């Protein structure tokens, strides 16, 4: 298992920040999962290839978003995990972002 090392900065400089929140599907807006932190959308739509970490059994696992088209309809999933479609809802995730 590969673990990423994050360097966390603050919002007052250009250092990357680590955003921790939950996945929610923004069905009305763009049919993509977003990152909700407290009550604010920090990321309003992940795309294929976006890297992040998901918490599984108290451990942060590296993954990225992808879309499965095998059923003829796109279904979001996290690589290297069993999380797919509605299983992604309310998963705790974290993302390193430039501010």
- CA 70 to chain CA mean position, Å: 22
**What pLDDT, on a 0 to 100 scale, did the predictor assign at position 82?**
94
Per-residue pLDDT reduced to its tens digit, 8-49: 333 444 556 666 777 666 655 667 777 767 665 666 677 889
Could you tell me which of 40, 36, 32 has the C-alpha nearest to residue 22? 36
CA trace torsion 34, 40, 42, 46 (10° rounding): 10
φ, ψ at 27 (rounded to 5°): -60, -45
Q: What percent of the chain clears pLDDT 70, i.e. is strictly above it?
A: 61
Q: What is the rounded distance in angstroms from the CA atom of residue 54 to the CA atom of residue 73? A: 24
């Amino acid at each position: 298992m590969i673990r990423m090392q994050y360097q966390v900065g603050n919002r007052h400089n250009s250092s990357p920040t680590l955003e921790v929140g939950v996945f929610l599907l923004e069905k009305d807006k763009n049919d993509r999962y977003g990152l909700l932190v407290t009550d604010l959308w920090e990321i309003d739509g992940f795309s294929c290839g976006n890297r992040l970490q998901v918490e599984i059994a108290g451990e942060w696992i590296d993954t990225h978003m992808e879309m499965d088209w095998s059923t003829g309809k796109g279904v979001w999933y996290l690589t290297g995990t069993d999380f797919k479609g509605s299983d992604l809802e309310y998963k705790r995730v974290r993302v390193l972002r430039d501010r």
